[in-house]
Amino acid sequence: MSKHVILLIGSPKSYASTSNALGDYLIKKLEKQGFVSDKIYIYDAMKTDKDAVHILQSIDDADLLILTFPLYVDNIPSQVIALLELIFKHRSLQKEPKKQKILSLSNSGFPEASQSETAHAICRKFASETKIEWIGGLALGGGGAIGGTNLEDVGRIGGGVRKALELVANSICEDKPLPDEALKLMKRPLVSPLMYTWFGDAAWKKAAKENGVENRLYERPYQASEDS
């Protein structure tokens, strides 16, 4: 019988997110090796209590959970925490919760992948409290260089990430631990930090100019009252 993987996308940008791009590439590789996949955009899906029931049913069917998210304030996004709490409560009520595995996959706007360590520690803690087997956490720094584009379309800069995710897919299918090479490739900056920050700063200025606010970028809207 085919194994079932569920991709849980924790970005409010949903389809247009780097989280989706990374997760999508990984599940396609798993599908090629016989996995059946399902996908949930957490921010779109968690709007009512009924939605939550539906999500939990889908998660119950899975053998493997892949949680992809952007790093927000050194942590996983708020709606993702809400979902993890729901899963925890749901499984606590089950007599024999299904044997499942989980992998977390983050991307951040900072060049250093290491800035996501706390977020992955939270995912690992969730796994242990919920009695889901923790496969590991993969962190990508400088996610802005991908900017929600399909990994197949990002060209040479995405080579290391693609290779890392292929290695991860193989290790999952062979039921082996995540290879060190995949973790290293994932952590490797997509572009040099100097180049990343230079282009990043320029992109913010360009976007502000397009919105007609290039002279207001450093505004302090709450400063006036601060002085009063």
Partner 1 sequence: MKALILDGSRKEDSISACIMDKIQDILKKRNCQIKALILRDQNISSCLGCFDCWKKTPGMCVIDDVGRSIAKENVQSDLVILLSPIVFGGYSPGLKKALERMIPNILPFYTKIGGEIHHSARYEKYPKMVGIGFLPSSDQESETIFKKLIERNSINFYSEKYSTRVVYPNDATEDVYKKVAEAIAEVID
C-beta of 181 vs 214, nearer to partner 1 = 214
Which of 7, 9, 59, 76 touches partner 1 by CB under 8 A? 76
What residues between 56 and 75 interact with partner 1 by CB under 8 A?
70, 72-75
- Quick one: which of 161, 155, 148 has its CA closest to 189? 161
Q: Between 117-130 and 78-92, two packed helices, what is the crossing angle to 10 degrees?
A: 20
Question: Of 59-67, 90-98, 165-173, 212-220, which segment contacts partner 1 by CB under 8 A?
Answer: 212-220
Q: Is 126 in the site for partner 1 (CB under 8 A)?
A: yes
Which of 11, 20, 37, 100 touches partner 1 by CB under 8 A? 11
d(C-alpha 30, C-alpha 166), whole Å: 9
Which of 25, 35, 41, 110 touches partner 1 by CB under 8 A? 110
Q: Is 93 in the site for partner 1 (CB under 8 A)?
A: no
Q: Is 216 in the site for partner 1 (CB under 8 A)?
A: yes
Q: Is 12 in the site for partner 1 (CB under 8 A)?
A: yes
Is the CB of residue 7 less than 8 Å from the CB of residue 23? yes
Dihedral pair phi/psi, residue 91, rounded to 5°: -70, -30
Dihedral pair phi/psi, residue 134, rounded to 5°: -85, 120
C-beta of 157 vs 207, nearer to partner 1 = 207
Sheet holding 4-9, edge to edge: 36-41, 4-9, 64-70, 101-107, 133-140
Q: Count of CB atoms within 10 A of residue 145's CB?
A: 23
**How many residues are there in the chain?**
228
Question: Of 28-36, 117-125, 152-160, 163-171, which segment contacts partner 1 by CB under 8 A?
Answer: 117-125
Q: Is 15 in the site for partner 1 (CB under 8 A)?
A: no
- Quick one: which of 136, 227, 228 has its CA closest to 182? 136
Contact residues: partner 1, CB under 8 A:
11-13, 17, 43, 70, 72-79, 81-82, 84-85, 88, 110-112, 115, 118, 121-123, 125-126, 128-129, 193, 197, 200-201, 204, 207-208, 211, 213, 216-223, 225-226
